[in-house]
Amino acid sequence: MKVSHEVPKVLLNNSREWNDYDYCLPHLLDQSEYYRDYFYNARKEGRYIIMDNSLHELGEAYNYDRLLHWVSELEPDEFIVPDVWMKQAQTNAQAKYWKQFNYPKRTKIVAVIQGENREKAHLCAGLLVGLGYQKLCISYGADWYGDNPLDKSLGRINFVKELLADKQYKDIKFHLLGCAVPQEFGWYRNEPRIESIDTSSPIMAALEGTTYSKSGLLEKPTANMNTHFNIDPEEIDYNKILKNVKRFRAINGL
């Protein structure tokens, strides 16, 4: 299971100490020259790059023309095509729409499972596989998972287990988007089909002044990339970040 923690721009180079790959938010490529240059260099150096569509940060997928531009320009190893939050039909329509384009040879397109409820999410997943997607993403925060961070984590765990038990997904790989509480990933440590995860949790917790306990957290940090991307380096406790990153891996057996 490969892990990447999104970081403020001043920590991008440091993130190579702990990230297995680089997770790119495409709207930031247009907002920050520093961020853009980092990913240009990452590509030149052969680092593995997964490019998101920025739905979580923007509330909707980033501008389609700019997404196509950056996929062509950056040639990420994986591109997560646009989805619509908790909307099954619209997400499946988007997944079909984005199949029409020619992508760089190295780029694999990946789709996100969305749904208004558990049944719709299962329908969405089956239709995505029917469209030919070989890797699917699963979001952390669907309303139907539960009301609080622990319940949301348990809700995704149960949904993931259902997908893994379904024979139609026996050859499908999965990516887990974010987390409500970091200790969730320990449930998947022996499952090779969960190929990658991304979460800023240990970084954002540290920026809030929170150190992980040996068992993780009970609440999700409120800090995020929208609020902390341009944080002043003087406000960062780097030792606390390293401690959280180390504990994240220890808690989850990574």
DSSP character at residue 120: H
Which H, E and C letters describe 27-88, residue by residue?
A: HHHHHCHHHHHHHHHHHHCCCCEEECCCHHHHCCCCCHHHHHHHHHHHCCCEEECCCCCCCH
For the CA atoms of 62, 96, 175, 163, the dihedral, rounded to the nearest 10 degrees, stands at 140
The whole model's pTM is what? Answer: 0.96
Span 156-183, mean pLDDT?
97
Span 226-236, mean pLDDT?
95
93-129 pLDDT, tens per residue?
999 999 999 999 999 999 999 999 999 999 999 999 9
180-209 pLDDT, tens per residue?
999 999 999 989 999 999 999 999 999 999
Q: What are phi and psi of 92, to 5 degrees?
A: -65, -35
Question: Residue 161: its pLDDT value, please?
Answer: 97
Tokens linked to 30: 């247009």
